[in-house]
Chains A and B, each alone.
Chain A
């Protein structure tokens, strides 16, 4: 736990919240303190977000190059796997995996697209175009 916010995150909005921490001192007292989270949390959280951001960026490049459908980008952006996505949308896994192909994606009907848009919290327009 630390008293000051430490600007270690690459994203400036991170690490700005004060939390409550318990600790145990040598005198046998359990203490409660309010402060910013410590270094090990910061390191591991940054590590996780690095991995997620790499995957999102990779997916974006693929979509732009026409190798994958926008669903791949939004799937990575919401930090889920095809299996999770299948649970969220109620579409079977093999169908979700097929929808990752641009050719198949173009033929999808509005009903299916709406299901995806609802899970990704986007409009249909946004779903079709990745910026």
Chain B
């Protein structure tokens, strides 16, 4: 039984964001052509939250993306696809047995994993980050074949290692979470899904009445950023700034915290439905994303020379305020658009 080889014909495509990449690849497997930005946009990947009172790797926690499994769950919901999500298992063995059963049935299965012990992952990224997603599509001897969209090629991982990363502990512990698509209807109503997706993203970015989420969160971060050098000293301030930049650059988003992917989604949707307003919004988003990139570029100079900042923190803070206003203009515009 151990030596049986299973290999599902699953096409691995590299992507910028792990979960929307996995979602778009799963759609592709079921015969629906869907690009990564499309999955990201429909599934509300875009987000911003800043949580100064929680520390992640010794620096304030912030996130440019939504909670784990949002992209998959929401895109399935909005498109009306029959999919299964098992949120958690009681026992590690049980979760691995469930994965084996799925593979035997020929279903590629997505899983949430932590990256700290992920053996094939680039070593410079191996920190405690439990919101990564990979798709298992094959089994050979004691090893599994998985598709990790950050990597160029499919990877091989042993049973023990896979179990360890699926049961990584800490904040947002995966607890063996797995998900897969059961079957897809021939005709999907992409138009209404796009509309719902945009509406939800606009809500999350400007309408939540809480100051640390969305555009308000960016303003709050800008205010705090100005105070860091006086409050914590230059070394720590540059480390905290480094955390912002690491988060906005994490896993190959092009240094703008997923804003490029969202802009690409707006453009694709605008071209698909012939909507000039969406195209305009995509240009605005692209400009905001380029501004984010300038911010990370300037900020990184402070991280290079840690005790003597080259750039003024006040200037960086103003830049963040400006970015927040630019983004807000996009969401206000999107709010009024009827597709």
Q: Which of B14, B122, B252, B263 has the most CB of A within 10 A?
A: B252
Chain B interface size band reads: 35 or more
| Cβ distance B308 to chain A, nearest Cβ, rounded Å | 14
Describe B's contact surface by its main secondary structure: helix
Q: Mark A65-104, 1 if CB is under 8 A from B, else 0.
A: 0000000000000111100100110000000000000000
| Residues in B neighbouring A44, C-beta threshold 8 A | 242-243, 245-246, 249, 300, 303
Chain B residues closer than 8 Å to A49, beta-carbon distance: 124
Which of these binds chain B: A16-24, A56-64, A106-114, A123-131?
A: A16-24
Which of B14, B116, B124, B282 is within 8 Å of A45, CB to CB?
Answer: B124
Which residue of the partner chain B has the closest CB to A55? B58
Q: Does B329 contact A (CB under 8 A)?
A: no
Residues of A within 8 A of B122 (CB): 14-17
Residues of B within 8 A of A81 (CB): 55, 58
**A41 and B246 contacting across the interface, CB-CB below 8 Å:** yes
B297 at the A/B interface (Cβ < 8 Å)? Answer: yes
Which among A41, A78, A119 is the interface contact of B255 at CB below 8 angstroms?
A41
Judge whether B263 and A78 touch: CB under 8 Å: no
The interface residues of chain A, by DSSP majority, are classed as: mixed
Residues of A within 8 A of B286 (CB): 24, 28, 30
A9, B170: Cβ atoms closer than 8 Å: no
Q: What residues of chain A lie closer than 8 Å to B303, measured between beta carbons?
A: 43-44, 47
Contact with A along B201-232 (1 / 0, CB 8 A): 00000000000000000000000000000000
Query: Is B151 an interface residue, CB under 8 A from the partner?
Result: yes
Known: A34-B14, A40-B300, A80-B170. A23 touches B260 (CB 8 A): yes
| Interface pair B251/A40, CB less than 8 Å apart | no
Alpha-carbon distance A43/B238, docked complex (angstroms): 11
Interface size on A, residues (CB 8 A): 40
Q: Which residues of chain B are near A21, meaning CB under 8 Å?
A: 16, 252-255
Partner of B57, one of A11, A18, A79, A88: A79
Task: Assess whether B127 is interfacial by the CB under 8 Å rule.
Answer: yes
Judge whether B169 and A40 touch: CB under 8 Å.
no
In the complex, what residue of chain A is closest to B289 when comparing beta carbons? A24
Known: A45-B124, A47-B238, A79-B127. A40 touches B249 (CB 8 A): yes
Say whether, besides A21-B254, A79-B116, A48 and B57 are in contact (CB < 8 Å).
Answer: yes
Q: Which residues of A contact B254 (CB under 8 A)?
A: 1, 21-23
Question: How long is the Cα–Cα vector from A3 to B263 in the complex, in angstroms?
Answer: 24
B315 → A minimal CB distance (Å): 16
A2 at the interface (CB under 8 A from B): no
Count how many pairs of residues, one from A and one from B, have CB atoms less than 8 Å apart in the complex.
Answer: 121
The residues in B between 100 and 148 inclusive whose CB is less than 8 angstroms from any CB of A are 116-117, 122-125, 127-128
CB neighbours (8 Å) of B127 from chain A are 48, 79
> Is the CB–CB distance between B170 and A14 below 8 Å?
no
Decide if A18 touches B152 in the complex (CB within 8 Å): yes
Determine the chain A residues whose CB is within 8 A of the CB of B37 once the complex forms: 30
- Which A residues are CB-close (under 8 A) to B245? 40-41, 44
Contact for B300 among A14, A15, A43, CB less than 8 A: A43
Contact status of A40 and B16, CB under 8 A, knowing A47-B306, A48-B242: no
Minimum distance in angstroms from A48 CB to a CB of chain B: 6
How many whole Å from A4's CB to the nearest CB in chain B? 16
Residues of A within 8 A of B (CB): 1, 9, 11, 13-24, 28, 30, 32, 34, 37-41, 43-45, 47-49, 51, 78-81, 84, 87-88, 119, 121
Q: Can you list 23 A-B contacts (CB < 8 A)? A: A9-B124, A11-B123, A14-B122, A15-B124, A19-B16, A20-B15, A20-B16, A21-B253, A21-B254, A24-B263, A24-B289, A30-B260, A30-B263, A34-B14, A37-B249, A38-B249, A40-B297, A43-B304, A45-B125, A47-B239, A51-B239, A80-B128, A119-B169
Of all A-B residue pairs in the complex, the 10 with the closest CB atoms, nearest first, are A19-B252, A40-B300, A22-B260, A24-B286, A30-B264, A44-B242, A14-B124, A88-B169, A21-B254, A17-B122
Other than A44-B245, A47-B238, give 16 A-B pairs with Cβ distance below 8 A: A1-B254, A9-B124, A17-B150, A17-B151, A19-B251, A20-B14, A24-B287, A24-B289, A32-B16, A37-B249, A40-B249, A40-B255, A40-B296, A43-B303, A49-B124, A80-B170
